[in-house]
A = this chain, B = another copy of it.
Amino acid sequence: MANITKKVSWSSRADESGAAGEGTPLLNGSEQPRHSRQPSEGGSLCQIGRLSTVDLEEEITSDEESQRGRPKEIPHNEKLLSLKYESLDYDNIENQLFLEEERKMSYMGFRCLEISRWVVCGLIGFLTGLIACFIDIVVEQLAGIKYQVVKENIEKFTEVGGLSISLLLWAVLNSAIVMLGAIIVAFFEPIAAGSGIPQIKCYLNGIKIPRVVRLKTLVVKVGGVICSVVGGLAVGKEGPMIHSGAVVAAGVSQGRSTSLKRDFKIFEYFRRDTEKRDFVSAGAAAGVSAAFGAPVGGVLFSLEEGASFWNQMLTWRIFFASMISTFTLNFFLSIYHNKPGELSNPGLINFGRFQGDSVAYNLYEIPLFIAMGAIGGLLGALFNVLNYWLTIFRIRYVHRPCLQVMEAMLVAAVTATVSFTMIYFSNDCQPLGPEHTEEYPLQLFCADGEYNSMATAFFNTPERSVRSLFHNQPGTYNPLTLGLFTLTYFFLACWTYGLAVSAGVFIPSLLIGAAWGRLCGILLATITPDGSIWADPGKYALIGAAAQLGGIVRMTLSLTVIMVEATGNVTYGLPIMLVLMTAKIVGDYFVEGLYDIHIKLQSVPFLHWEAPATSHWLTAREVMSSPVTCLNRIEKVGTIVDTLSNTSTNHNGFPVVVKVSGSDEPPKLCGLILRSQLIVLLKHKVFVELARSRLTQRKLQLKDFRDAYPRFPPIQSIHVSQDERECMMDLTEFMNATPYTVPQETSLPRVFKLFRALGLRHLVVVDDENRVVGLVTRKDLARYHLGKHGLEELQLAQT
């Protein structure tokens, strides 16, 4: 089998390279055990160093086949669980090398490590802030040019009467820019599509999503998001910041770039999944913080999505990164706006300040807020259902990159056309105030000194539109404008999410919600006699925005804090929380959150917080994969190579067992070793000529493992001669001698809790005599979920 590099189609693009890649975790197969050693009671089926093949999916497309032709229908399905995703190793591999290093390290050594962690977090925050700043400035400049050009064109043709030319200009400009963004995404790095939040959620959940934290992804992401926002799509630039922050974190913390082939020889200690995942949490938080000016919200986002075990020092570092990030953004934007040192731009989106008495709320408004939350939940569910169907459609029919680019261009053109039509037919003219807060007021057919109100909503970057919906004086919009705007923007945003462009759904959601929220406020003011006193439309716009966003993404705690921080006013804490909770409860009744839908459609083995409530009747015995391919502590090289090369069972973790010498007893568990470790051992030819002789053994350092991390070579690239196949390998020093184990009778919730709390990758199931009977991995736990008819089991599939 050739050295296949893995590709993952996170966007709606098909996976071209086929099913199983070099590191694909497969189900532990279940060939008839060769050394069938059936002990009296436990049913311990432990194959020693033998190959096993998958019998579960006989009809599976073999690697060669999938390389030749594209599968006819991409089997994305929310009832499947893909086997191609690996877990991260959040549990430290405590082998002898690691313990020796730790024991050698002095207290000062640990202090230095701790300090360098803080330095890395500071760097992460700083770079994330810089990237946010760069995106913001570039978008503002380019969008400014675009809107100026179109505006001048429209003004030129308003009198003359050739507005269709303006429309054409607008549509072509948008399409061209979006095309650029879609091309780099679809052809160069499909994983950079979308907001990246589902991917980061998965990463923080402990799933290794290939290519998600690479430099190339970051570059494409930044370029893509600029193009899609400037291209006038119904998208925001906030979501992608989270992904960008995560990539920055993964890059900085490793002290090298594999893509650029530069190794700075620093932070080598951090080259393992445990540390990297912690830093990625910090990066994601820094991204949220830069996007919304919400450092605490960022920390809570990271925790809500990622944390298994809450660690105080880690949380502080995350908080530090967040703070630095928002501060950096703030500082550089203040320079850009020629007010150096005045720190008033904490995030990419700024809701403006809600201050003064007009925004206070009263007790009797609470039920209104809750009702709005329910509306948000309903609309959010509708949005999600529509987007779900659309995504299914895209997976089936729009999986070629060129089709994806064309669809993106189409959406861009349609967006421009619809916007133009709405503006054209709107006759909502508003007087242009003396201070006129609108950046690009379009006069069109309005009288002099007036501007078209619909254009404020459409002919603007979405961030500005949100702000004007929040803060413009009562009476700036008439209800019809708002209603039409909500309707069109709702469908545009729904169509846009899932395109092969880098873009987020936060701002469009906020915009839709702000529009209908403001509409609610206006209606309330008209139906109540003295309503104008308390029904400030801006306040209702804010509540509507929260409701809509909550209805779509279904976050509560972190979103509350993000919204509170973005408004800069804690008074709204309670109503926003109530609204988000209502939206979540109502929305969850119909369909899951948008991110969860997309995660499920990718068949990712995502672990929730707890095992399904009604799963107490399942035990580890039923859940585990068995029989397990075990290795002897001193194992023949040939056996190891064969085990690793077995493409049908690509296992990633192997329990190591030991036989009491001279005894007839079955072998006992004595450790756990990973595929990646074995690969490094093979590569460095850590063989002993004869069993039990340690003389010729080359001493490997932890450094060798760290250097290979995270892109371990595939087994096919390692040449082992026939002579070497006869040598032995002593795994004692390299295996994790104290893997976590559970007895067979352990209930699923208990197994789940242990697995989730410690972020494990493999959990060995043993019998009374400490013999291996099975192995629990992520997919074994993730496949149970609560469906409509109680506990359901997902099917496992290779894709």
Contact = CB atoms under 8 A, between A and B. Distances in A.
Interface of A: 92, 94, 99, 102-103, 105-107, 110, 293, 295-296, 299-300, 303-304, 307-313, 315-316, 319-320, 323, 326-327, 331, 340-344, 346, 355, 360-364, 556-557, 560-561, 564-565, 568-571, 573-574, 577-578, 581, 609-610, 613-614, 616-617, 668, 670, 737-738, 740-743, 745-747, 750, 753-754, 756-758, 766, 768-770, 786, 790
B110 A613 contact: yes
B344 A360 contact: yes
A326 B743 CA distance: 46
A356 to B, nearest CB: 9
Contacts of A340: 363
Contacts of A342: 360, 362
Contacts of A320: 577, 581
Contact of A747 (B344, B581, B738, B740): B738
B757 A738 contact: no
A315 B323 contact: no
Contacts of A786: 107
Contacts of A578: 323
A769 B668 contact: yes
A310 B309 contact: yes
Given A308-B309, A315-B557, A327 B110 contact: no
A570 B568 contact: yes
Contact of A556 (B300, B316, B327, B362): B316
Given A565-B573, A757-B757, 11 more contacts: A92-B750, A94-B746, A107-B614, A293-B570, A295-B574, A309-B309, A311-B609, A315-B557, A343-B574, A740-B754, A766-B770
B758 A754 contact: yes
A557 B561 CA distance: 14
A103 B319 contact: no
Given A103-B616, A296-B296, A753-B758, A746 B741 contact: no
B308 A310 contact: yes
B362 A750 contact: no
B770 A557 contact: no
B768 A309 contact: no
A642 to B, nearest CB: 28
B308 A304 contact: no
Contacts of A745: 737-738
A323 to B, nearest CB: 5
Contact of A557 (B299, B308, B758): B299
A715 B746 CA distance: 31
Nearest to A340: B363
Contacts of A737: 743, 745
A371 B556 CA distance: 37
A768 B106 CA distance: 32
A561 B296 contact: yes
A573 to B, nearest CB: 6
Contacts of A308: 309-310, 757
Nearest to A98: B616
6 contacts: A94-B746, A320-B577, A327-B574, A341-B363, A738-B745, A757-B758
A-B pairs, 7 with minimum CB distance:
A110-B613, A102-B616, A341-B363, A738-B746, A757-B757, A310-B310, A307-B310
A276 to B, nearest CB: 18
Nearest to A618: B103
A790 B571 CA distance: 48
A594 B363 CA distance: 40
Nearest to A366: B327
Contacts of A613: 107, 110
Contacts of A103: 616-617
A743 B323 CA distance: 42
Contact of A770 (B303, B323, B326, B770): B770
A770 B315 CA distance: 37
A754 B754 CA distance: 8
Nearest to A614: B107
A747 B343 contact: no
Contact of A571 (B106, B568, B758): B568
A568 B567 CA distance: 11
Nearest to A566: B570
Contact of A363 (B331, B670, B742): B331
A309 B308 CA distance: 6
Contact of A769 (B300, B316, B568, B770): B770
Contacts of A768: 668, 670, 770
Interface-central residue, A299, A564, A616, by most chain B CB under 10 Å: A616
Contact of A565 (B105, B570, B766, B790): B570
Nearest to A305: B312
A571 B758 CA distance: 36
Contacts of A574: 295, 323, 326-327, 343
A740 B743 CA distance: 9
A123 B717 CA distance: 63
A69 B735 CA distance: 57
Given A343-B360, A362-B342, A107 B790 contact: yes
Contact of A750 (B311, B609, B738): B738
Contacts of A327: 574
Contacts of A561: 296
A307 B769 CA distance: 35
